[in-house]
């Protein structure tokens, strides 16, 4: 199954797969609050995956509703930041997403390599 790179990076794969897998992956490594996750995603992806509060908080709520993450207030007696942690169901979901996502990431990698080879590594003949 071959897809154009822009379809993989900018299409439904991005919104339905990249954000959830990044969030689940990052909170599996270390529970975090929404803003912290936004910063960590930016560190990992740079401008490739733009994330803002209008995207991350609704997604965190959906992941919580589906039982993939839990959330608790970081201060027990006052309302502060909600810290998200992965659940066993979230770990299983992460595993499944990563397995199905790998062919798409490999496709992106191959396409970028072909483009780079074409533009920079081929010797004119």
3-state secondary structure of 106: helix
User: What's the chain's length in residues?
Assistant: 125
Full set of structural domains in the chain with CATH = 5-121 (1.10.10.10)
pLDDT by residue (tens digit) across 37-66? Answer: 999 998 988 877 778 888 899 999 999 999
Residue 12 confidence (pLDDT):
45
112-117: which pairs have CB atoms within 8 A and are 24 or more residues apart?
112/5
Residue 18 confidence (pLDDT):
78
Exposed/middle/buried for 13, CB within 10 Å: 0-12, 13-18, 19+? middle
Beta-bridge partner residues of 73: 82
**pTM, to two decimals:** 0.75
Residue 1 clears pLDDT 50, i.e. is over it: no
The candidate with the shortest Cα–Cα distance to 20, out of 61, 74, 48, 54, is: 61
> How far apart, in whole angstroms, are the C-alpha atoms of residue 24 and residue 93?
8
């Amino acid at each position: 199954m071959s897809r154009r790179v822009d379809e993989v990076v900018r299409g439904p794969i991005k919104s339905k797969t990249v954000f959830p897998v990044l969030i689940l992956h990052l909170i599996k490594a270390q529970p975090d609050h929404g803003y912290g996750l936004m910063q960590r995603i930016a560190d990992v992806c740079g401008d490739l995956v733009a994330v803002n509060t209008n995207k991350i908080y609704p997604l965190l709520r959906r992941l919580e509703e589906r039982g993939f993450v839990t959330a608790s207030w970081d201060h027990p007696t006052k309302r502060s930041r909600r810290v998200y942690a992965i659940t066993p169901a979230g770990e299983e979901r992460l595993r499944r997403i990563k397995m199905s996502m790998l062919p798409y990431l490999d496709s992106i990698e191959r396409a970028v390599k072909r483009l780079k080879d074409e533009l920079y590594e081929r010797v004119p003949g």
